[in-house]
Structure 1
């Protein structure tokens, strides 16, 4: 099948559309496509519906500091988890799936504090070393981008009695 040329109306519509597009990655360069000149009379006949943008509601992000009662309980180790999940020893995909399942269960049970055991990060990171601590490196991203991100009030390193650097507390918001 051979290529056909665009009519002047189609060309004007295509030009208007390409001017309204914004790149996903602003730094990425795309090759320019050749565009045939459009007469002013062709553009005046073309009417495009106005583009309506709907602003997404701002996502609630985890707080860096909670109120003094929570802070005191975290520092002293008196925070008792409502639920615990152990992820170390799993592959990244399995750990991600288990974390999402545990968050869904915790939310359904109205749990406020979930202890997530990730395993301790490696003491030294050499260039050729295996990927120890991979779950620990990814868990922050999983929590920020997951479907329960707006339901998380705070994420904190666990007290040494609950695993210290090898675990985190995920503190969930109250249901409204």
Structure 2
């Protein structure tokens, strides 16, 4: 099979992508790809191709562990949520809209801890019947990752049994900078 060469636009896109990733081994050398700037079209009858926007650096991901005082409060059940929303019983679209509204409201009010009740995950071995039980629970992680507020989420943790256990999660927000 013949090797295909990258077009100038593909080279520029590849260059932007490689500048936005972090190497697994900090001592390794980055792969150098020449960045080709967009060329202007000389023919007045042709319209120039717009430049592709640079790929943004990845947003900060939620942490799996917080500092010891947060961990102690979560484990001990002494963490007090600033706001609580109950999503179970809603359609997926309504639950997603309520989640985004709650996140924006919490950020506007400088709240740190949200308790989100999703309902318990489906039990395994369900007598062969198809059900949508646990649909919100299955989607909540994706919704939080793709949320416009994803970079403001410090951690997502399973709630203490006092607050719903497996049927709820804590979303801990980062402080405003």
Query: TM-score normalized by structure 1?
Result: 0.71
Are 2:168 and 1:167 aligned?
Answer: yes
Superposition map of 1:113-128 within 5 A: 113-124=113-124, 126=126, 128=129
Superposition map of 1:28-67 within 5 A: 49=39, 54-67=54-67
* RMSD of aligned alpha carbons: 2.5
In the aligned structure 2, how far is the partner of 1:21 from the partner of 1:125? 48
In the aligned structure 1, how far is the partner of 2:59 from the partner of 2:8? 30
Deviation at 1:53, TM superposition (A): 6.2
Instruction: Give the 4+ runs in structure 1 shifted more than 6 A.
Output: 16-19, 50-53
In the aligned structure 2, how far is the partner of 1:158 from the partner of 1:118? 11
Give the number of aligned pairs.
Answer: 137
Structure number with greater Rg is 1
Match of 1:140 in 2: 141
- Structure that is richer in helix per residue: 1
Query: TM-score normalized by structure 2?
Result: 0.70
Q: 1:17–1:71: structure 2 CA closer, same or farther, 3 Å change rule?
A: closer
What residue ranges of structure 1 are gaps of 5+ in the alignment? 1-15, 23-47
Are 2:80 and 1:80 aligned?
Answer: yes
What residue ranges of structure 2 are gaps of 5+ in the alignment? 12-37, 41-50
1:61-92 deviation per Cα after TM superposition (whole angstroms, max 9, x unaligned): 10010000000000000000000000000000
